[in-house]
Amino acid sequence: MFTYICKLILQLAMHPRDLSILDFQYPLPEERIARYPLAQRDQSKLLVYRNGHWYDRIYQELPAELSPDSILVFNNTRVVEARILFKKDTGGQVEIFCLEPDDRYPDITTAMMQTNEVWWNCLVGGAKKWKEGALTLHYIDGNTQYTLTATKFKQHTETYCIHFQWNQPNTAFAEVLHKAGLMPLPPYLNRMAEETDKERYQTIYAQNDGSVAAPTAGLHFTDTLIQALREKNIRDTYVTLHVGAGTFKPVKALRMQDHEMHAEFIDVTREFIKTILATLDQPIITVGTTSLRTVESLYWLGVKTLEQPLVSIQELTVSQWDPYENMAAAGYSAEVALKALVRWMEQHQQERLITKTQIIIAPGYRFRIIKGLITNFHQPQSTLLLLVAAIVGDDWKKIYNHALKNDYRFLSYGDGCLLWLPQQ
């Protein structure tokens, strides 16, 4: 135990900028990647890790692993059918992958509710086939025929701003995607989306449209499991982080200082922050890395309101290195930071906080709010694996080796683990 704590102390002294992504590699055979989910969600395996030791369970047994005063934080984002296939008159196909709304919209929800037209930043597959003019897609919903057109508005470095228009002015863009688009399965599944993916690549509590990837740790939860947790007085509460395609972005830089972390929209209520404030002395466990990044970002947003009392709504964001640089020296407690954030929201008459976070959590990060994480097994050399290592240190290698040797299924449709921060 002493050695384990010493390793963690040394890890905390490290700056994530100096990390080499090559130190976070492991062999992942293709056959260990789960191409399809299990028939029953809560029968997936669950590796439980605490203070250097681990053992095997299944998700159905999760209530026995948590104390009655625990709080589970879920991400209730909903995956949208973000892939749209357009056929050219010549027979060629162009795929448009809707990533995030144009900057003219303050948040994803506003953009999703647009009617008649919307501007969206997209990846374009087969862009060379699309020289000029608009692409057109016709589809029928019930007795109504829809026509969706896409026009290139502006080109960015890797994406295009696409101007979408459709002929039913009372229909929101979210509904257009639902009818005309396809589910955006992760590229490593190497297969086309099937009808069953519409239900299985979605958590049972998904609510707010906006993600292009599922918060996959939540895919293991069923109504029965959540009810069993509630019967043990384990509370469930919800935040929203809309997962972007950047979650699959490979780390190409050898040193993390040269990797730009993707930014994502978060949406939390003032009531949620008050709930966390009232339960800081209880085990707060985030279900998924997205929930974790949201909850920990709230601390840094609170710090920013303390350090910059006149910060505007537009400026209240979390950048990649905020937790490791000037704001980290402030040393505010979680209670002080969250109270400041609530006070700022009250002053600005904000019941909901909608902003962006670019936070990167890696070895060297000191957790302020959460005590544990439920998550899947992640890709080698990914920022998600860095986050796991921030919790368990070098033991991530032993955990992943155990999972590989004991037939755990990996990545989005695979099994998961419950990782506890070391006891202080």
- pLDDT tens for 354-408 read 999 999 999 999 999 999 999 999 999 999 999 999 999 999 999 999 999 999 9
Number of domains in the chain: 2
Residues sharing a CB contact under 8 Å with residue 198, sequence separation 6 or more, in sequence order = 81, 183
Indicate whether 188 belongs to any domain: no
Same domain, 294 and 401: yes
Instruction: Return contacts of 258-262, CB within 8 angstroms, 24+ apart.
Output: 259/21, 259/383, 260/320, 261/320, 261/358, 261/359, 261/360, 261/383, 262/358
pLDDT at 372: 98
pLDDT at 246: 67
Q: Is the pLDDT confidence value at 236 over 90? A: yes
Same domain, 39 and 90: no
Same domain, 174 and 209: no
Distance CA 325, CA 296 (A): 16
pLDDT at 250: 67
Same domain, 18 and 101: no
Residue 239 sits at φ, ψ, to 5 deg, of -125, 175
Same domain, 285 and 408: yes
Last residue of a domain, one of 150, 182, 214: 182
Average pLDDT over residues 74-97: 90
Range among 93-102, 126-135, 266-275 with highest mean pLDDT value: 266-275
pLDDT at 141: 76
Same domain, 153 and 298: no
- The pTM assigned to this predicted structure is 0.91
User: What is the chain's mean pLDDT, rounded?
Assistant: 91
Residue 405 sits at φ, ψ, to 5 deg, of -80, -15
Same domain, 57 and 130: no
Same domain, 323 and 234: yes
